[in-house]
């Protein structure tokens, strides 16, 4: 396997030819911040958060799409890189509703996490009119809700719907500030060829695509003395629910000393 030697942050590293700067940096424990990148799903250099300085290059390069070259010298956290990242983040935030406290992805949002990590102290450029309004929220389907206001146009959802599912019921429409990830002809998800699988909501870094929240209905039923609530849980839930409490994936949330009691029928 052909290899390439390069220097990242003064550390020499040898990687497989064809690797990106992002992958090479990861090998030496440098996790360049990203937003739109998703391994095996989406590497398009859209968000410009992962930019790095490459000696001799005219401009900062997006690490997730830049292949390494022999003798390359890369700086991942110089003053210029940090300033660029922060400005990019500030601009993204300037077109993003500041609603973290009431958002379904509060505390589990990549935009939030990045803003925290980069100590974003101020959002100076607030556009008088945002690209989208609450009227653009699509809650037509029983499964998924789209809120274009929160979309950072990373295109992960489009990538998953296209490459993994081969459906692509959503894509990017229009251009510039009008750009939106949506079904065609201003239709809602319920009216197009969406399979309702929710993989889009699984990969979305923000609260732009989320599952429909039905918890209110369940609370009301539980509170209703006249209702006898019966609950069933799927096999796949018991190996994942513990993650909602910070446990390792695969932790089994089922009685470990399962004693099948004779069915009382």
216: helix, strand or coil: helix
Least separation in angstroms between CB 211 and other proteins? 5
Least separation in angstroms between CB 219 and other proteins? 8
One of 10, 40, 58, 79 touching other proteins (CB under 8 A): 40
| Two tokens, residue 138 | 């699509």
Q: How many residues bind other proteins (CB under 8 A)?
A: 84
- For the residues of 65-114, what is the DSSP string, one character each? TPBP-TT-EEESS-HHHHHHHHHHHHHHHHTS---GGGSTTTTS-HHHHH
Choose between 82 and 238: whose C-beta lies nearer to other proteins.
Answer: 238
Residues 232-261 that bind other proteins (CB under 8 A): 232-245, 247-252, 254-261
Residues 4-33 that bind other proteins (CB under 8 A): none
Least separation in angstroms between CB 122 and other proteins? 28
Choose between 8 and 182: whose C-beta lies nearer to other proteins.
Answer: 182
Choose between 2 and 265: whose C-beta lies nearer to other proteins.
Answer: 265
CB 51 within 8 A of CB 63: yes
- For the residues of 5-66, what is the DSSP string, one character each? EEEETTEEEEEETT-BHHHHHHHTT-----SS-BTTTB----S--SEEEETT-SS-EETTTP
Q: Which residue has the tokens 């029983």?
A: 142
Q: Which residue has the tokens 């590497």?
A: 43
Least separation in angstroms between CB 151 and other proteins? 15
**Separation of alpha carbons 205 and 35, rounded Å:** 7
For residue 262, state whether it binds other proteins (rule: CB under 8 A): yes
Contact range with other proteins by CB under 8 A, out of 51-59, 78-86, 128-136, 196-204:
196-204
Residues 71-130 that bind other proteins (CB under 8 A): 105, 108
Residues 145-184 that bind other proteins (CB under 8 A): 162-175, 183-184
Choose between 10 and 215: whose C-beta lies nearer to other proteins.
Answer: 215
DSSP letter for 187, please.
-
**Separation of alpha carbons 145 and 160, rounded Å:** 17
Least separation in angstroms between CB 104 and other proteins? 8
**Separation of alpha carbons 65 and 80, rounded Å:** 19
């Amino acid at each position: 396997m052909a290899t390439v030697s390069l220097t990242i942050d003064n550390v020499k590293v040898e990687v497989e030819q064809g690797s990106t700067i992002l992958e090479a940096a990861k090998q030496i424990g440098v996790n360049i911040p990203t937003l739109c990148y998703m391994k095996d799903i989406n590497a398009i250099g859209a968000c410009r958060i992962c930019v790095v300085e490459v000696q001799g290059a005219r401009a900062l390069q997006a690490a997730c799409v830049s292949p390494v070259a022999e003798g390359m010298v890369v700086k991942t956290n110089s003053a210029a890189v940090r300033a660029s990242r922060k400005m990019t983040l500030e601009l993204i935030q300037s077109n993003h509703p500041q609603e973290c406290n009431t958002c379904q992805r509060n505390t589990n949002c990549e935009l939030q996490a990045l803003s925290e990590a980069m100590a974003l102290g101020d959002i100076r450029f607030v556009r008088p009119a945002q690209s989208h309004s609450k009227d653009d929220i699509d809650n037509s389907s029983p499964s998924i809700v789209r809120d274009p206001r929160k979309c950072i146009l990373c295109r992960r959802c489009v990538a998953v719907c296209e490459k993994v599912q081969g459906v692509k019921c959503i894509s990017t429409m229009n251009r510039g500030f009008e750009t939106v990830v949506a079904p065609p002809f201003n239709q809602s998800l319920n009216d197009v060829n969406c399979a309702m699988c929710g993989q889009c909501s699984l990969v979305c870094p923000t609260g732009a695509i989320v599952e429909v929240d039905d918890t209110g209905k369940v609370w009301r039923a539980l509170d209703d003395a006249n209702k006898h609530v019966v609950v069933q849980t799927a096999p796949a839930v018991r190996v994942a629910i513990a993650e909602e409490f910070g446990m390792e994936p695969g932790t089994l949330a089922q009685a470990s000393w399962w004693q099948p009691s004779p069915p009382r029928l």
